[in-house]
């Protein structure tokens, strides 16, 4: 198995656009996942009765194979990017919801009481006290969701989307390993870089967690 390096050189442009489209699908999914799971997590955190239902439901969705989710969405949204993004979003939900609820749970009750005693209203407490303190755990979920989405985008290649995943079909159909190897390596690189960037973002957003020298 040898890599045909000249193929890479000839396809730099295609590879860049596939990688960008790949990244776009994954990031949109994490964005929508956060948009949906943040309010749900607050509800699950506050209302004990709904907690099990919401977490259980997201677990069931997670059990459904990704290819099945993409295919089952076909009658609804067709062979489009929308299908890819919805499918991936469903997958991010379980991780984001669980971590956000856990993050909110980890905020000490005394901290919340202190905020209350100082006259801070509940919504403000949530936005300025609870969510920031929960951020490390939430970010851990965002990192997992991002890495997972980036690896899953290629499954959408069967419904005509899938970014770098198209390299797998291409290599398979022509019995030519180079695009497949390049696709796998680029996907891993994207995941690695995205994860490192998220660590950096978290470092900037949570100055209080840095240990004093």
Partner 1 sequence: MYELFKNLAKWLVSGDQWAGTDGIAHRIAEHLEYSLLATLIAAAIALPLGLLIGHTGKGAFLAINLSSFGRALPTVGLVVLVFLVSGLSLWSVYVALVVLAVPAIVTNTYAGMSAVDPEVKDAARGQGMRGHQVLFQVEIPLALPLIMTGLRLSLIQVVSTATIAAYVSFGGLGRYVFDGLAQRDLVQVLGGAALVAIVAVVLDLALAGLQRHLFRHRRTAAH
192 binds partner 1 (CB under 8 A): yes
Distance CA 213, CA 201 (A): 21
Choice between 151 and 206, CB closer to partner 1: 151
Contact flags string 131-150 toward partner 1, x per CB under 8 A: -------------x--xx-x
Selected from 53, 114, 188, 196, the binder of partner 1 by CB under 8 A is: 188
Going by C-alpha positions, the residue among 53, 209, 211 that lies closest to residue 137 is: 209
Q: In whole angstroms, how far apart are CA 30 and each of 52, 80, 97, 111, 195?
A: 23, 18, 12, 29, 13
Q: Does residue 38 bind partner 1 (CB under 8 A)?
A: no
Closer Cβ to partner 1, 133 or 150, answer by number: 150
User: Applying CB under 8 A, which of residues 1, 109, 123, 213 lies at the interface with partner 1?
Assistant: 1
Q: State the Cα angle at 13 between 10 and 15, rounded to 5°.
A: 90
Cβ-based neighbours of 207, under 8 Å, separated by 6 or more: none
Give the residue with the Cβ less far from partner 1, 37 or 149.
149
Q: How far is CA 74 from the centre of its chain?
A: 22
Please, what is the minimum distance in Å from the beta carbon of residue 50 to partner 1?
21
Within 42-71, the residues that bind partner 1 by CB under 8 A are 60, 62-69, 71
Helix (H) or strand (E) segment spanning residue 213: none
* Residue 77 binds partner 1 (CB under 8 A): no
Rounded distance, CA 118 to CA 125, Å?
10
What's the closest the beta carbon of residue 109 comes to partner 1, in angstroms?
24
**Distance between CA atoms of 100 and 39, rounded to whole angstroms?**
10
Rule CB under 8 A: say whether 75 interacts with partner 1: yes
Q: Which residues lie near partner 1 (CB under 8 A)? A: 1, 60, 62-69, 71-72, 74-75, 144, 147-148, 150-155, 157-159, 164-165, 167-169, 171-172, 175-177, 180-181, 183-184, 187-188, 191-192, 195
């Amino acid at each position: 198995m040898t890599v045909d390096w000249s193929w890479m050189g000839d396809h730099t442009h295609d590879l860049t656009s596939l990688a960008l489209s790949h990244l776009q699908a994954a990031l949109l999914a994490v964005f929508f996942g956060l948009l949906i799971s943040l309010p749900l997590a607050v509800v699950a955190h506050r209302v004990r009765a709904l907690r099990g239902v919401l977490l259980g439901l997201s677990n069931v969705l997670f059990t459904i194979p990704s290819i099945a989710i993409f295919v089952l969405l076909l009658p609804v949204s067709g062979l489009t990017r929308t299908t890819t993004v919805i499918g991936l979003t469903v997958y991010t939900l379980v991780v984001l919801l669980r971590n956000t609820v856990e993050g909110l749970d980890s905020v000490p009750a005394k901290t919340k009481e202190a905020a209350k005693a100082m006259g801070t209203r509940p919504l403000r407490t949530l936005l300025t006290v609870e969510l920031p303190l929960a951020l490390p755990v939430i970010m851990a979920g965002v990192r997992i969701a991002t890495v997972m989405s980036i690896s899953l985008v290629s499954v959408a290649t069967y419904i005509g989307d899938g970014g770098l995943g198209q390299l797998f079909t291409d290599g398979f159909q022509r019995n030519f390993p180079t695009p497949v190897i390049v696709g796998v390596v680029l996907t891993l690189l994207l995941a690695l870089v995205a994860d490192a960037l998220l660590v950096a973002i978290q470092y900037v957003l949570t100055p209080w967690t840095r240990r004093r020298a």
